Amino acid sequence: MFYAKDFIELDYKPAKDDLICLFKVKPAKGVPMEEACGAVASESSVGTWTNISTMEDSVRDMRARVFEVGKDYCKIAYPLKLFELGNMPQILSSIAGNVFGMKVVDKLRLEDFYSPPKMDRSFKGPKYGISGIRKLVKVSKRPLVGTIVKPKIGLSSKEHAKVAYDAWVGGCDIVKDDENLSNQTFNPFKRRVIEVLKMRDKAEKETGERKMYMPNITAETSEMLKRGKFVKSHGGEYIMVDVITAGWSALQTVRSAELGVIHAHRAMHAALTRDKSHGVSMLAIAKIARLIGVDQLHIGTAVGKMEGGAKEVREIDEEVEDDFIKGSNHVLNEEWSGIKPVFAVSSGGLHPGLVPALMRIMGNDVIIQMGGGIHGHPSGTRAGAAAARAAVEATMSGVPLNEWNSKELKQALNHWKVKL
């Protein structure tokens, strides 16, 4: 079977149950664009590098079809029968597997995909989603305010819990572990969970607000389950998973265990997403995570220190016009065959002065997470949390930050030299 001849059908109309992928393609030197696109369709479905005698007509009918070729992209439709429904590793081994290593392509990037309703329904999706989290936290409209305990690693369990407490009483709704803190000797997982949840209860009594803690349970899969069950048995309602380093199958196992709200950290994503001409886009990763069933997902800051500008962030979280596939936009919050929407988490280099710009981009359905932007406040963590909360409340009220009645916010604006 020859790539261009057998896997390109530009008059093909995708069936309602086809999985459709958008690839950015840069052919190897001397390779025609259609040949390169056909090779991607072949390798990711039923073909190989040469004609084979075992290719029955029934198998040939299951081939992927390139139905559109552009200057630097192609769209490929895959019959649903190629996939084991509910098995994300198998699906990705097909559409995002060997294709990246073929010699006929110099660069290849999975930009986006559309999963048909039958495939969507084979995954659990989020248990809570945006509305469930808002009900749990008892915050109906404003963005949630969160922080990461800093320094990210090195504190003892009691020190960690004290930082969390200060953040909560200052005004944070959520406190989380950093992605590289798990069960180190200086801060053992079980001891940390017990100490921090004790401080959570204390903060709730003092403030009259619900407070949430996200312990990082990331580890080998069976150990993650043990840690998640430990959190749940001690009254914790959240868990955090580094979804890419842990792996998609591990995430599916954790989701099936129903251990609480799943906060998804995207550590290592840039190894796949940062090269805009090769790898897998954050847009595609967000869709994968939502199907499997995370309730919250880091998507970038648009205005902070981490890579990922406003346009990319909006593509993931905000409803935008999308000419790829009708109905496949607004990735975290669109209607998806019963799959609940995911709460977007913006984190990385944020401080209170950036809140108005961030909310203009993201709206209210966002968790604004500040690490250094809270703990770096000149008056300490509690004042930093108060400043962050004040920035959100001022923005919700349509009042410029420098006019809001909060000494902690004024200190923050001066400290980070914010010009309004």
Helices (H), 234-354: 243-246, 248-257, 270-273, 282-292, 310-317
Q: Give me the pLDDT at residue 328, please.
A: 38
Give the CA count within 13 Å in the CB-facing half-sphere of 282.
29
Q: CA distances (Å), 382 to each of 62, 84, 169, 386, in order?
A: 60, 50, 7, 6
Domain that holds residue 197: 129-415
Q: CA distances (Å), 352 to each of 145, 165, 383, 401, in order?
A: 11, 19, 11, 9
Decide if 263 is catalytic: no
Q: Give me the pLDDT at residue 321, please.
A: 35
Same domain, 105 and 237: no
Asked if residue 284 belongs to a domain, the reply is yes
Beta bridge partners of 264: 241, 297
Asked if residue 249 belongs to a domain, the reply is yes
Same domain, 113 and 148: no
Conformational region of residue 348, where left means phi above 0, alpha means psi within -120 to 50, and beta covers everything else: left
Number of H helices and E strands in the chain, helices first, is: 18, 13
Same domain, 163 and 19: no
Q: Give me the pLDDT at residue 59, please.
A: 58
Q: Give me the pLDDT at residue 61, please.
A: 78
Same domain, 269 and 308: yes
Same domain, 139 and 67: no
Please say which residue of 120, 143, 161 terminates a domain: 120
Q: What CATH number corresponds to the domain at position 394?
A: 3.20.20.110
Asked if residue 420 belongs to a domain, the reply is no
Token pair of 212, please? 């949430």
Asked if residue 7 belongs to a domain, the reply is yes
What is the reported pTM? 0.91
Q: Give me the pLDDT at residue 302, please.
A: 57
Q: Give me the pLDDT at residue 301, please.
A: 67
3 state SS of 145: strand
Q: Give me the pLDDT at residue 335, please.
A: 76
Q: How many domains does the chain have?
A: 2
Q: pLDDT of 358-406, one tens digit each? A: 999 889 999 999 999 999 999 999 999 999 999 999 999 999 999 999 9
Same domain, 144 and 18: no
| Regions of the chain with pLDDT less than 70 | 1-4, 48-60, 301-330
**CB neighbour list of residue 191: distance below 8 Å, 6 or more residues apart:** 157
Same domain, 232 and 85: no
Q: pLDDT of 42-89, one tens digit each? A: 999 887 655 655 555 555 678 999 999 999 999 999 999 999 999 999
Strands (E) located in 152-274: 174-176, 212-214, 238-242, 261-265
Same domain, 116 and 215: no
Give the sign of the dihedral formed by CA 75, CA 80, CA 83, CA 85: positive
Q: What CATH number corresponds to the domain at position 10?
A: 3.30.70.150
Same domain, 113 and 133: no
Collect contacts of 319-325 with beta carbons under 8 A, ≥24 apart: 324/22, 324/75, 324/112, 324/114, 325/20, 325/22, 325/112, 325/114
Instruction: Give dist(CA 249, CA 246) in Å, integer.
Output: 8
Same domain, 290 and 313: yes
Q: Give me the pLDDT at residue 329, please.
A: 39
Give the CA count within 13 Å in the CB-facing half-sphere of 337.
17
Identified catalytic residue from 24, 176, 265, 330: 265
Please say which residue of 74, 90, 120 terminates a domain: 120
Helices (H), 208-304: 221-233, 243-246, 248-257, 270-273, 282-292
Instruction: Give dist(CA 404, CA 391) in Å, integer.
Output: 8
Same domain, 169 and 216: yes
Instruction: Give dist(CA 201, CA 338) in Å, integer.
Output: 34
Q: Give me the pLDDT at residue 326, please.
A: 42
Decide if 103 is catalytic: no
Instruction: Give dist(CA 285, CA 101) in Å, integer.
Output: 19
Strands 174-176 and 144-148: parallel
Cα-atom radius of gyration of the chain, to the nearest Å? Answer: 23
Same domain, 239 and 197: yes
Q: CA distances (Å), 282 to each of 60, 83, 113, 271, 295, in order?
A: 32, 22, 12, 11, 16
Please say which residue of 73, 99, 120 terminates a domain: 120
Identified catalytic residue from 150, 176, 269, 287: 150
Cβ 398 vs Cβ 388: under 8 Å: no
